[in-house]
Amino acid sequence: MWRNWAGNQAMSPAQVVHPRGTEEVSAAVKEAAAAGRRVKAIGSGHSFTAIGLTDGVLLQLDRHSGLLSADPDTGLVTVAAGTPLHALNATLAEHGLGLTNMGDIDVQTVSGAISTGTHGTGRASGSIAHQVAGLEIVLADGSVVTCSRTERPDLFEVARNGLGALGVVTAVTFQTEKQFALTADERPMPLDDVLDGFEELVADNEHFEFYWFPHTRLALTKRNNRATELKPLSRARSFVDDELLSNGLFAATCRLGALMPRVIPGINKVAARALSARTYTDVAPHVFTSPRRVRFCEMEYAIPRSELPAVFRELTALPERIGEHISFPVECRVAPADDIALSTASGRDSAYIAVHVFRGTRFDRYFDAVESLMGSVAGRPHWGKLHNLDAAVLRERYPRFDDFLAVRREVDPEGVFRNAYLDRVLGPV
């Protein structure tokens, strides 16, 4: 029995294979296709949806990882698909390189991160997939192909956010840049001030995001901008802030809230009032990412960025309106428009609203209400996070939806890589 990180998805595949390279991936796909079995590759299990589940052959890519090539002059770095993001960051640092942008969790594999559209926040820098310069993919017939903007561009345009529907990504080439540092400025602000000045806050900072504490009118803002002189947090301050408070104490309050939901609003008010400002400068991966030890389930939607203030104001009224007590902060981030067919930022500047609940907590009423609100502005769900939309709705929200399906029909006409989730969000092959 395999379970994901959040514990809300499970599967018992007919066969589990741990390939050690592209040739073994190809052989496994050929064998499965010949036997009439479906194939799915899985990474670290950090998706909340059933995107990676199968009753056929499961390819676990944990033994197919590591650096394949690096060119510090061009910044092009190729790694095996099962490489975790934290290992990629360490490898890039050894070569004096770094990713332009990242999300706040670094345990995902590179193939899982790009396939589901993992992103951070950035005024002008997009998702991890937007930093991909080339891919190596094993197709349904076992053939190994490469693609980029100049080689098989039709495949490349869709495969960067391929959902695992087009083949098994076996290697990823990133366009990196010279290693850089970021100054993190974190401070509490009244939520109304954040929403009133949202566009200015985004425009004035390379990376801006905020967290709102439900049942309060306060938010924690985060501004990350490039810097030259390192001034990291002390080990003691880092431990107290990021381990003791953000993980240890927060886990305790979540468990208390799960037992006695009525105390959650009071806890959130105390937590919001206790927020303090801090500023530090460190290498980019140490600023972009944070330890996340409290497990949860999550829904996230991308909406047109101009709609964020109005939509978020409506969101703040949801918990009381539906009679739910929500312990987890709501996260808001931004991304520029990109050219990837099924990227949540495809063709439009986007704002992301992510809602969470403590693992094991009922979330259907809360998530359904959020999903309805996001649908009012043509919101697009994160492919690795919980949602209820199907192909008919998603086709209306993605102008290039049928472009993706055309490539899928070409490279996987028999549906070797399909599963129930892909049947729902893309339709049958």
- Residue 275: the pLDDT is 84
What Cα–Cα distance (Å) separates residue 221 from each residue in 132, 253, 272, 281?
29, 22, 12, 16
Contact 199, 334 (CB under 8 A): no
Position 424 in a domain: no
Residue 175 lies in a domain: no
- Token match 């999550």: residue? 298
Question: To 5 degrees, how large is the angle CA 31–CA 34–CA 37?
Answer: 80
DSSP string, 66-93: SEEEEETTTTEEEEETT-BHHHHHHHHH
- Asked, for residue 334, whether it belongs to a domain, the answer is yes
The answer to whether 59 and 42 are in contact (CB under 8 A) is: yes
Distance of CA 236 to the CA centre of its chain: 29
Instruction: Examine residue 299 and state whether it is found in any structural domain, yes or no.
Output: yes
**Residue 274's pLDDT is what?**
84
Q: Please provide the DSSP assignment of 10-48 as one string.
A: EE--SEEE--SSHHHHHHHHHHHHHTT--EEEE-SS--S
What pTM does this model have?
0.96
Contact 137, 144 (CB under 8 A): yes
CATH number at residue 195: 3.40.462.10
User: Which sign does the torsion angle of CA 249, 252, 258, 260 carry?
Assistant: negative
With respect to residue 196, please indicate whether it lies within any of the assigned structural domains.
yes
Residues 6+ apart with CB under 8 A from 165: 408, 412, 417, 418, 422, 426
Domain count, the chain: 1
**What local confidence, expressed as pLDDT, does residue 273 receive?**
86
Token pair, residue 333, equals 């981030």
Domain that holds residue 251: 181-381
DSSP 359: T
Q: Is 172 inside a domain boundary? A: no
Cα-based distances in Å from 20 to 55, 74, 89, 165: 22, 28, 21, 22
pLDDT per residue as tens, the chain (429 positions): 899 999 999 999 999 999 999 999 999 999 999 999 999 999 999 999 999 999 999 999 999 999 999 999 999 999 999 999 999 999 999 999 999 999 999 999 999 999 999 999 999 999 999 999 999 999 999 999 999 999 999 999 999 999 999 999 999 999 999 999 999 999 999 999 999 999 999 999 999 999 999 999 999 999 999 999 999 999 999 999 999 989 999 999 999 999 999 999 999 999 988 888 999 999 999 999 998 999 999 999 999 999 999 999 999 999 999 999 999 999 999 999 999 999 999 999 999 999 999 999 999 999 999 999 999 999 999 999 999 999 999 999 999 999 999 999 999 999 999 999 999 999 998
- Cα(first)–Cα(last) distance of the chain, in Å? 27
Does residue 364 lie in a domain region?
Answer: yes
300 lies in some domain: yes
**Predicted local confidence at residue 276, as pLDDT:** 87
